[in-house]
Every structure is written in structure tokens, then in C-alpha cells.
Structure 1
Amino acid sequence: MQTARTLEVLRTQVAKLRRRQEGGAARIGLVPTMGALHEGHLTLLRRARAECDHVVASIFVNPTQFGEGEDLDAYPRQLEEDSAMLEAEGCALLWAPEVAAMYPTGFATSITVGGVSEGLCGAARPGHFDGVATVVAKLFNQVAPDMAFFGEKDFQQLAVIRRMARDLDLTRPHVDAIVGVPTVREADGLALSSRNRYLSPGQRAAAATLPREMREAIARIEDGQEVAPTLAALEDALLGAGFAAIDYAVLADAASLAALDGLKGGPARLLVAARIGGTRLIDNMAVGE
């Protein structure tokens, strides 16, 4: 596996990868990450390897998507360990830029995606999705991948990236180039996340209540029970289990993320963000599928 730390080296290495395929240009898959890799990230990499000739992974802790008081400085950075994991999984190229390479002196551009970025985590974390959209747009321009792979755990992020890619013609219109990969979960159902490491043993045990109560709420909604009291019961159960606060618990249209008061026949999603100790956990699950 090659590692690029400058844009010049990145583009040179990507060009070499594209020429390595007999009979035409090689298909490049991109897996953007902020490092602190776990099985969820590796699942994205394996999916990319299955669908592409070569995989480029990025590791960049993006400062523009962290708000005031969030954990930018505390966010785990373990480039050597992460590099070894990527190489073991067959990653061809790692793009690991410094902040100055991504945001050089005088950088003054930001991308805002309306609609899907509003509400949910967008309301709780002002500016967060502007930072996500901007850095992902840069990654698409830098690597020029044929496909890019993102986890469904960050479902609103996935919706924002898909909207941006369509609106700005960042992907080929006839290809489903933004691939959402199902959430990877631990044995007790908790979605894998780099932030799970912040949980104490007691908090970790209580956190398993989140996916369990979400499944219960989904069963009630699919059984025809009213949405509002079902979601209220979900919130009460989480608070009773030790969660400190619920940022949101919403049934939403899976494409627009508009809140729903019941199933309307199309794909829907239950999305929850809840805080336990100093850690904010998010999760989502399909409803009515």
C-alpha cells in the first residue's frame, strides 16, 4: 500500500492505479474516514474492493465539521495502526493529508446543502454538515473516484453527500456512485462507532438499550400504533436506562428526511441521537421494509 501526504503525490499514485487495468482504465473506489478504524470501516473497504479494481482510503480528522465544545482535540489519531489495518485489507492507496494541505492559507469556500442537512444532527451541530460537504467535495475532486462508500450509520450524512453529488454533478449520472453500506453492530446490537471507546463499562452496558428500544418502537409503528406516543415511550425508556438526554427520536422519510407521523408507503427511517455521560450516540434503522 502506498501512502500520499501531498496532493501531487496522491494524483500521481491514482493515475498509476488507473493504468494498471488491462483493457481499460481501472475502477477506483474511495472510502473516506477520519481514522480510528474499526470493523465498520473495514466493512466499507471490503465492499469497495468487491466492486472496484483498486481502493483509495482517506484518513483526515476534518476540523471544519467539529463545532465549539466538540471533541476535535480528543478525537483519536492512530495513523500507524490504521495504516496497518488498511494494508491488511488490501487497500491500494492511503490519502493522509495534513490540515494545511486540505485548507491552505486563505481558504474561504464552504458548501451548504439545504433540506436534508437541516434538523436532526444539523440542528444540534450547526455548521457540521457544511464541513462534511466541503471536505467530501474536495476528496471527490482530489481522488476522482468511480464510486465512494459510506456507512448508513451516519444516515443524514449519507443523504447530504448524495444530494450534493447530484446537485453539483460530482458523479456520473447513470451510476449509483454513492454507496450506502449497512451499519455494522456489536453482538448486543450497538452500532460500531469510534466514540464507543469513550463509554465507561456501565455506560457501555446501558448503551445497548438504544438499538433494543429502537427495534421495539419500529415493531409498534409497523403494527399500526401511533408514532408520537411510540417515540415518547422510546425516549422515556432510554432516559430510564441511564441516558442523560435525547437530542431527537424521529420517524422520517428515507430520502428527504422529512418527519413523518406514520408510514406513507415509501421507505422510512427511525433516527435517534442520545447522550450518555459525555458521549453522543446516533443510530438509525429502516422502518416498513
Structure 2
Amino acid sequence: MPSLFVSLMLAAAASQPTPAQGDLQGLFTPDDYPAIALENEEGGRVRVRLVIAPSGFVESCKVIESSGSTSLDEQTCAVIRARAQFSPAKDAKGRPIKDTYLQTITWRVGEDLVPPAPRNAWTTRTTLSLTGEGKMVDCDVAATGFDIGEGPCKAATMLMEAMNMAAPAGHAVAASVTDIHFYPVAPTAAPKAPRIQDATLEVRQVSRVVINGNGRVTECEGVEFSRDIPEQMDACTLVETTRFQRSPGAAELTATMVVTVYSRKRTVS
């Protein structure tokens, strides 16, 4: 009996498996979020039991507490089995052994840079003030029909960086105005977006956008272009991650988005 007691004590003191990469949550990236879960705005916690082989690889993964989403449960195990590696458990003599490991992974749809966009007509105007070297010194956002906050400043700054790279020699952008007009009708029925008269039109793009009942953009195609533009300035690139207000059960909405970018340049001495 004493030998059995000693054996149990030694077994309890043996090392447990530990993730070689640290916290397993760090193995997951935004690209791992299942499309269907994003579409339905599903999130939750998945608790899994892993069997770790003596080699340190995950031999099996079983969900013991579901998130309520089949796609999130399945993706949790898929990512862990593909990427996780462990320092295996060891017995009292230091030999690698098979053991189990419990892990909880939390899935949640990331916070949007701006609040959900309305499904009715709205406009936004983002005005950047820049130095002669093209560095932003001020950003102002004005909106009608959409309490958008200050989020557009980041996107507008990215657009200006692309425009500055293409600015003529001896010139730099001194100010930029980015207008976005959203009309809840198809392009053929949409009104003409007004233009700014005292600035140079850099980009104008009209896009047809389809939005489902969950507020996600399912289709986007440009139907009018002022000129060839870099990908980061493409309206469909900008809108593909935009979230609109939800209207569960509603029919798809075909809408029009008009993006115009203006600049005022000054000569650089």
C-alpha cells in the first residue's frame, strides 16, 4: 500500500501539457471567423478537451461546452488541430506521455470602426487639413442622416496617402474632402450627387450595393468611374466590411453609393 501511495503522489507531481505558443487564443486570426457566423453575427465561448500525444501534437479535439454555433464549434477544433503544438506531459521519470488539456476559446464579432449605417439616404463629408509634406494636422467629419462619429478620418487618411504618392512633382495636397452619398435605390434611379466647385475632383465612383436583412453587403460592383484608381480607393473595397442596420426577414436592398474625393493643392517651394 505505501508504494501505491508514493506512486500516486509522483503521478500528481508529473508535468502537464503546456502550449508551446502560449495562450491558444492567440492562434486565431480574424480570417478564421466562419463566413456563416459573421453573416449571422454569431459569437460565444467554446470549451474543448484536447488529447495531446507524446509528440506534442493534438491527437483529438472534442467540444464539451458549445457556443451554440455549429460553425464556431467546428472551426475551433479545426484551427487548434492545425496549428497548436504542446510541450507534452511527462511522467515521474520525465518521459513524454499522452494527456488531456482543457481550453476555452472566445469568438466575438469585432467592434466596428463606425456604428451600423442606416438603410435610408445619408451623406458624410470628411475634410482633412494637411501640411505641405502631406501630413495630416486636422480632420473634420460632418454627416446628414448618419451619426457616424470620427471613424472616417482613418479611411480618409489612407486615401490621401495614396493620392499624395501620385501628386505631380512640385505639388502637395493641402486639403482633401471625401464625400460619400448613400441612396437606397438602384443606380438608375439615384439622383446625381452634388459636386464641390472650388476643388479638384480626384476620384468619383458610383457603385451598386446589395445589402441583406442582416445588414451585410453581399454584392458590390462599380458602375461608373472617373478614372482608374488604386484598390485601396475602390468604393467596393471600402464598403465590403461596412455593417448596415439589421432588418431580419427583409428583402435584399439594392442601393447606390457614390464616393467622391477632392483635393486642393498648393505649390511646394
TM-score normalised over the length of structure 2: 0.23
Larger Rg: 2
Structure with a larger share of its residues in helix: 1
Which protein has the bigger strand share? 2
